[in-house]
Amino acid sequence: MELELRHLKLVRAIAETGSLTRAAARLGLAQSAISAQLKRIERALGGPLFVRDRAGARPTALGELVLDRAQVLLPAVRELQEEAVRFANAFEDVHRFRIGGTHGPLLGALVDRLAALYPDEPVSTYTSWSVQEISELAASGRLDFALLGVCGESPPPAEELEWRVVGTDPVFLLLAEDHPAADEPEVELGRFRAERWTTVPGEGCFGDCFSAACARAGFTPSQILETDTVSCAHLVQVGRAVGLCRATMPPTPGITTVPIAGTPLSWRHLIGWHPESPAAGTAPAVVMYARAAHAEAARRNPVYAKWLATHPEFGTAD
């Protein structure tokens, strides 16, 4: 494994917070993910970076060496990114919209609005399952906007960017339309203890949050299949799995969405940009268009539209 800047940020977060638990909260990752990454970093660097006990995590001699180098490298890279953005701005005469996002209908809806409202301006997209990759591309000036989502109240993945909330959705179940629970107003999660599950891949703590919700419901999910959206839909349609989806998922033939009782899982849609980039000037308008696209997506799913009437804390941000 090659050492990357995100690895140095992780080591710095552990040292500054004094524990893996607090570092996980700061970075918006599950503690298990932090622990696994730290082990890989330590293997790559040849030894332990922290002494861990009940008092927390304290740097070893090797850890101090790495932290000393990180204190130089991380600010230098951030300064380089900011300087590159300023340099690009000095020669940027063409308005454009380069948008990075995870795969989903909200990205397409925003692109459609921008292309219609600005027919003479180029609109391009970059998609990835990695919110970290998209954020870093926006921070370095290679994307104008990052449109992505985070689980629950997890913080945005890049502190260099300015972020706005587009909307907050519950996570619904995705069921075949002939499933016995397909027409119910809401279902208990524990009812599906024997099911196979499917969802799209991603980073962050969603997998751990889902496992925790299942544990509270009294079971451990037997199998979770992570695959692309089309494959998830197919697995649900043919009755091979129960899906997890954002409530804004558009109506799909052969499939229905059903709310989970107690709303144990939620998803925040965010849009971010570098405050010194050309995008900063158009950001207020783009945020407005993104929120309008989210509101339209919510209206298109009749199950979600009905659910929102009694759950005003969710939906499109003001």
The chain-wide mean pLDDT, for the chain, equals 88
Last residue of a domain, one of 64, 88, 112: 88
Kindly state whether residues 196 and 250 are assigned to the same domain.
yes
What mean pLDDT comes out for the span 48-60?
89
Q: Which range has highest mean pLDDT (46-55, 146-155, 219-228, 254-263)? A: 254-263
Kindly state whether residues 98 and 225 are assigned to the same domain.
yes
CATH of the domain at 170: 3.40.190.290
Kindly state whether residues 228 and 82 are assigned to the same domain.
no
Token pair 């101090």 is found at 64
Kindly state whether residues 24 and 172 are assigned to the same domain.
no
Structure confidence at residue 87 (pLDDT): 55
Kindly state whether residues 274 and 145 are assigned to the same domain.
yes
Q: Is the pLDDT of residue 90 over 60?
A: no
**Host domain of residue 77:** 5-88
Last residue of a domain, one of 48, 71, 88: 88
Structure confidence at residue 91 (pLDDT): 46
Q: Is the pLDDT of residue 85 over 70?
A: no
More confident residue, 104 or 85: 104
Indicate whether this model's pTM tops 0.75: no
Structure confidence at residue 33 (pLDDT): 79
Banded pLDDT at 93 (limits 50, 70, 90):
very low
Q: Is the pLDDT of residue 182 over 90?
A: yes
Kindly state whether residues 55 and 132 are assigned to the same domain.
no
Last residue of a domain, one of 34, 69, 88: 88
Kindly state whether residues 133 and 264 are assigned to the same domain.
yes
Burial class (CB in 10 A: 0-12, 13-18, 19+), 78: middle
Kindly state whether residues 170 and 72 are assigned to the same domain.
no
Banded pLDDT at 299 (limits 50, 70, 90):
very high
CATH of the domain at 39: 1.10.10.10
Q: Which range has highest mean pLDDT (19-28, 71-80, 271-280, 308-317)? A: 308-317
Banded pLDDT at 155 (limits 50, 70, 90):
confident
Per the structure, the count of domains in the chain is 2
State how far the Cα of 119 lies from the Cα of 93, in Å rounded to an integer: 17
Structure confidence at residue 94 (pLDDT): 46
Burial class (CB in 10 A: 0-12, 13-18, 19+), 215: exposed
Q: Is the pLDDT of residue 133 over 60?
A: yes
Burial class (CB in 10 A: 0-12, 13-18, 19+), 289: buried
